[in-house]
Amino acid sequence: MESILKGKVKEAIRILYNSELSDDLIQIQETRKDFKGDFTLVVFPLLRFSKNTPEKTGDTIGQYIVENFPAISGFNVIKGFLNLEISDKWWMDFFRSIASDNDPLRKCKVTRPETILVEYSSPNTNKPLHLGHIRNNLLGFSLYRILAACGHNVIKTNIVNDRGIHICKSMLAWLKYGQGETPEISGMKGDHLAGKYYVLFEKDYKAQTEELISGGMEETEARNSAPLMKEIREMLLKWEAGDSEVMALWKKMNSWVCKGFDETYRLLGVDFDKIYYESDTYKIGRDIVISALENKVLYRNPDNSIWADLSSEGLDQKLLLRSDGTAVYMTQDLGTAVLRQKEYGFDKCIYVVGNEQNYHFQVLKAVLRRMGYKWSDGLYHFSYGMVELPEGKMKSREGTVVDADDLIAEMKETARVVSLQLGKLSDYSDEEKEEIFRKIGLGALKYFILKVDPRKNMTFNPAESIDFNGNTGPFIQYTYARIKSVFRKAEQMGISYDSLIPSELKAGEKEIGLIKLLRRFTDTVSEAAAGYSPSLLANYCYDLAKEYNQFYHDFTILGDNDQDVRNLRLELSKVVSTTLCSGMWLLGIEMPERM
RNA sequence: GGUUCCGUAGCUCAGUUGGAUAGAGCAACAGCCUUCUAAGCUGUGGGUCGCGCGUUCGACUCGCGCCGGAAUCACCA
């Protein structure tokens, strides 16, 4: 519609003022709520053609468009703004076209689909997932759904950071204090078990360094010479050398942890098409670095370490292989990227990783480009902000983290309490109820996270918990359940309906308002895909639900005696419900039929 | 110190090529269930859009300079 209007404005200027207009001077936007009209043309930029006041100019153009474009039924000019009113018939025709289409996402497809890898989650196998990972997983998964809905070929991938000194920490502590404890024996989830020993290690290590410091040692030296640090270095060396005992322990504990992760992913409703392990890819990275060194893209220090000099790009020197030949974080990511390009030939690779690693990804891209990989242009760091607690950042070492499994369980529990209080599900079986509590609890959590602009840091207050009223997931789910309820009632009453609504039917303001909002859905999906922004969709769903609830409150649907009106309201309700369902589906949020 | 990001109501957040009187929710207060689900709807109060200068017919939005906060600049990941 906007583009048609633009054409009409262009035509008007040509005929009225005999001037050719460039597109960027035509600003058409949706009319603000407090004014009458549907689309607004900003006339200020056109004054140079009309050589007249904003009011006169708007008036003249408005007149022309109304006379020459039947879809526009009227106009008004306020200060420099020409508000064009679209005829009810046009809106009704539009509504009929979407009402007969069952899939609101059909029109979102891009003309040139791409192959896009989305990497998210990237956990370390030494501790369980926390709220930060939840934000990561939800963003990554939603991004996948949105891009896939637009017709792209999207591959969900995960890179498991399963090697390195931090992994050895939980292993060493388990060896020392574990007494053969397993998830089976303790009944503890594997990732939580490993996390317990990781914390134990950190605690003892801290005690040791503090003791050395109080004995008069420098802090850095104390950290390096603490007995536990020595032991852990030995263990890492053994791991790198492939020592069979260490490898067996590593495999055993990692399998516990990964099993625990799988459970959390399942609860959260996210999954992956391909999982990479750092323990595999770091070797590829090492080979790449060495061959790049031979091609003189990198340089070697006297101590044998290998570096990239990125100072010409405003970055620093970056270490890629240690003097002892072992790999660092960057080495692994280089290897993973090259492997992925080889396996999938992606156009884009989106890394869903926290903003603390902005520098890392800048360097990663620069190094790959320097190495001659042209596809490195397609790497994109989807950088999201931290989730903070009211008292500041979460720190797993200090135990001030919000555990993912706990939070998910708490949300479901809250949903149960709220739901039972309202007591609307008394005729459901326990199993059915549990399923609804799950959907609502998770819906609240997911919406809470996804409605916020990903780039921004956000605060989570565990004491206040997550709301179920107002701008929340359950509010939108409730709107959906309400509509479903109307249809159950309609069936009981033997009321049938169809999308054959007469286009000359006079719809009310609220109904037209809903149709206008519905029209924005496909654009919102496209914008969310282009801008990698699930929050746009979350906010859209809220607006739509809010508008529908007002409509629902003000008008009766089944009670209206005019069959055409009832039909329209039922169809409108149906399209709102499918649109809400699609929008929330793109966020990874399920909708309950009742609540 | 360098680089990047953020600063909007008491709190949590919207506000996307610059556009009209800056919007929601929570919290507070006042109303609305004999009627399709009240997890809803309606109303009241609450703002120097961190501060200043500039560009513009027009700035929360763009530029520059301050102030405040975060992240990062490791032979950690």
Q: A273 CA, B75 C1': separation in Å? A: 34
* CB of A400 within 7 Å of some strand B atom: no
pLDDT beyond 80 at A516: yes
* CB of A389 within 7 Å of some strand B atom: no
pLDDT beyond 80 at A400: no
pLDDT of residue A34: 80
pLDDT beyond 80 at A413: yes
Query: What is the pLDDT averaged over residues A499-516?
Result: 85
pLDDT of residue A398: 67
* CB of A78 within 7 Å of some strand B atom: yes
pLDDT tier for residue A236 given thresholds of 50, 70 and 90: confident
Structure confidence by residue, pLDDT tens digits, A358-378: 999 999 999 999 999 999 999
pLDDT beyond 90 at A546: yes
pLDDT tier for residue A461 given thresholds of 50, 70 and 90: confident
* CB of A396 within 7 Å of some strand B atom: no
User: For chain A, what is the mean pLDDT?
Assistant: 92
Residue A151, class by beta-carbon neighbours within 10 Å (0-12 exposed, 13-18 middle, 19+ buried)?
A: middle
* CB of A2 within 7 Å of some strand B atom: no
Provide residues 192-211 of A with CB closer than 7 Å to any strand B atom: none
pLDDT of residue A67: 92
Alpha carbon A232 to chain centroid, angstroms: 37
What is the Cα–Cα distance from A120 to A143, expressed in whole angstroms? 10
Nucleotide nearest A460 (Cα, C1'): B12
* CB of A229 within 7 Å of some strand B atom: no
What is the Cα–Cα distance from A108 to A116, expressed in whole angstroms? 17
Least confident of A11-25, A116-130, A448-462: A11-25
* CB of A57 within 7 Å of some strand B atom: no
Best CA proximity match to A472, nearest among A391, A415, A395, A552: A415
Structure confidence by residue, pLDDT tens digits, A74-111: 999 988 899 999 998 899 999 999 998 888 899 899 99
pLDDT of residue A291: 94
* CB of A539 within 7 Å of some strand B atom: yes
pLDDT of residue A210: 86
Query: What is the pLDDT averaged over residues A248-277?
Result: 96
Assigned token pair, A326: 């072992």
Query: What is the pLDDT averaged over residues A469-496?
Result: 94
* CB of A40 within 7 Å of some strand B atom: yes
pLDDT beyond 90 at A139: yes
Dihedral (CA of A12, A17, A20, A23) sign? negative
Residues with Cβ within 8 Å of residue A565, at least 6 apart in sequence:
A505
Nucleotide nearest A487 (Cα, C1'): B36
Nucleotide nearest A559 (Cα, C1'): B36
Q: What domains are defined for chain A?
A: 2-86 (3.30.1360.70), 120-398 (3.40.50.620), 404-586 (1.10.730.10)
* CB of A496 within 7 Å of some strand B atom: no
pLDDT beyond 90 at A154: yes
Q: A84 CA, B9 C1': separation in Å? A: 33
Nucleotide nearest A468 (Cα, C1'): B39
* CB of A177 within 7 Å of some strand B atom: no
pLDDT beyond 80 at A500: no
* CB of A186 within 7 Å of some strand B atom: no
Nucleotide nearest A322 (Cα, C1'): B75
Query: What is the pLDDT averaged over residues A317-341?
Result: 92
Query: What is the pLDDT averaged over residues A321-336?
Result: 90
pLDDT of residue A397: 67
**Percentage of residues in chain A having pLDDT higher than 70:** 99
Which nucleotides in chain B lie less than 7 Å from some protein C-beta? Answer: 2-7, 11-17, 19-21, 24-27, 35-42, 57-58, 70-77
pLDDT of residue A399: 67
Q: A551 CA, B41 C1': separation in Å? A: 10
Q: A77 CA, B29 C1': separation in Å? A: 39
* CB of A32 within 7 Å of some strand B atom: yes
Q: Which residue has the tokens 């503890």?
A: A188
* CB of A325 within 7 Å of some strand B atom: no
Residue whose Cα is closest to the C1' of B74: A319
Q: A427 CA, B22 C1': separation in Å? A: 47
What is the Cα–Cα distance from A304 to A324, expressed in whole angstroms? 7
Best CA proximity match to A585, nearest among A25, A9, A142, A111: A142
Backbone dihedral angles phi then psi of residue A101, each to the nearest 5 degrees: -110, 125
Nucleotide nearest A542 (Cα, C1'): B24
What is the Cα–Cα distance from A568 to A206, expressed in whole angstroms? 69
* CB of A476 within 7 Å of some strand B atom: no
Identify the three-state secondary structure at position A291.
Answer: helix
Backbone dihedral angles phi then psi of residue A345, each to the nearest 5 degrees: 55, 45
Q: Which residue has the tokens 């746009």?
A: A536
Best CA proximity match to A256, nearest among A347, A183, A151: A183
A570 neighbors A401 (Cβ within 8 angstroms): no
* CB of A279 within 7 Å of some strand B atom: no
Higher pLDDT, A41 or A1: A41
A508 neighbors A502 (Cβ within 8 angstroms): no
* CB of A121 within 7 Å of some strand B atom: no
A36 neighbors A24 (Cβ within 8 angstroms): no
**Concatenated DSSP letters of A379-447:** EEEEEEPPEEETTEE--TTTT---BHHHHHHHHHHHHHHHHHHHT--TTS-HHHHHHHHHHHHHHHHHH
Flag whether the pTM goes above 0.90. yes
* CB of A102 within 7 Å of some strand B atom: no
* CB of A513 within 7 Å of some strand B atom: no
A367 neighbors A320 (Cβ within 8 angstroms): yes
Query: What is the pLDDT averaged over residues A243-271?
Result: 96
pLDDT of residue A543: 96
What is the Cα–Cα distance from A553 to A510, expressed in whole angstroms? 11
